[in-house]
Each structure stands twice: as structure tokens, then as C-alpha cells.
């Protein structure tokens, strides 16, 4: 029995759609777009606009959440949910609530990495450790977000 089959055996049948490689692949692809947006906003706000790191990270996360919701709505989960405008707005709100767990994890991990771990990655006389810390925090949060978005926002088990 391969590892994926072992996991499938432990998961209730109604949650089996979470193991869809196609859906997870789409979610990760959208997440990559979100990571680029998050990192671009973070880098711009901290290096150019001199925002504090955590504020720049929060701005990057919010920009990424909105763009990723739109892409997930139209591509990853395009066959889920009503196309009515009010339902779309409800899903956007629900997405923010659902992602709050991943956002919290991302901000805490990011803060720990930039405040408690003394690492420097100097490129062109600029310490870019905060960017690597951001990518690490994004990766952890993505797993939480995929699970909760699938279950609560787009209800893949229905």
C-alpha cells in the first residue's frame, strides 16, 4: 500500500475530495501566484516605502488573498458555488474568515523567523532574509488554507 492509499484509508469518505491531485495542483498553482503577489507587496512596502516588516507582510497577505480568491473561484473550484453576486460576496467573506487560520500561522511563523532567528542573506548590500522567511511561512499556511478552503468555502465534500 503506497503512502497516499494509507492516508485515504484514514480519511472519512466525505473528505476524500481533499486528496484530488488535480484540485491540489491547481490550488498550489494559484498559491504560487499569491506568493509572488505577497512577496512583491512585502518587498515594495518594506524596502521602498519603509513599512515595518510585519505591516508589509500583512499588506502582502491581503493582496494575495483577494487575487487568489478570484482565481480559485474561476478556476480551481469553478464547478462549486452559485454564480449569483450575493453568493460570490458571501464566499469572499467566508474565504477571509476561513483563511484567518492560515493568515495567523503565516504571520506568527514569519514574525518568529525574522525576530528570533538571527540569519542574514545579504545580496547587493541588502538583507533579504525576510523574503525567504516569507516563503517558508507561506508554505506552512498553504496546507492549512487548502484544507479549510476546500471544506468550508467551496464545500468539496458535497
Containing 127, the helix (H) or strand (E) segment is strand 126-127
Instruction: Judge residue 115's burial from the number of C-beta atoms within 10 Å of its C-beta, 0-12 exposed, 13-18 middle, 19 or more buried.
Output: exposed
In this structure, the dihedral spanned by the alpha carbons of residues 62, 34, 37 and 78, taken in order and rounded to 10 degrees, is -90
Tens digit of pLDDT at every position of the chain (158 positions): 676 666 656 665 555 555 667 777 887 888 899 999 999 999 999 999 999 999 999 999 999 999 988 887 888 776 666 667 888 888 888 888 888 888 999 999 999 999 998 888 889 998 999 999 999 999 888 888 777 777 777 666 55
The model scores a pTM over 0.85: no
Amino acid at each position: 500500500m503506497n503512502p497516499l492509499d494509507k492516508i485515504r484509508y484514514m480519511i472519512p469518505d466525505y473528505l476524500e475530495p481533499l486528496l484530488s491531485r488535480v484540485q491540489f495542483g491547481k490550488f498550489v498553482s494559484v498559491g504560487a501566484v499569491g506568493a509572488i503577489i505577497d512577496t512583491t507587496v512585502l518587498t515594495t512596502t518594506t524596502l521602498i516605502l519603509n513599512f515595518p516588516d510585519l505591516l508589509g507582510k500583512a499588506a502582502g497577505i491581503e493582496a494575495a488573498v483577494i487575487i487568489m480568491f478570484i482565481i480559485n473561484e474561476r478556476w480551481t473550484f469553478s464547478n462549486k458555488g452559485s454564480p449569483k453576486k450575493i453568493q460570490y460576496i458571501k464566499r469572499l467573506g467566508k474565504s477571509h474568515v476561513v483563511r484567518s487560520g492560515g493568515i495567523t500561522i503565516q504571520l506568527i511563523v514569519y514574525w518568529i523567523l525574522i525576530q528570533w532567528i538571527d540569519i542574514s542573506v545579504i545580496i547587493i548590500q541588502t538583507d533579504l532574509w525576510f523574503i525567504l522567511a516569507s516563503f517558508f511561512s507561506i508554505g506552512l499556511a498553504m496546507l492549512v488554507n487548502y484544507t479549510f478552503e476546500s471544506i468550508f468555502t467551496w464545500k468539496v465534500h458535497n
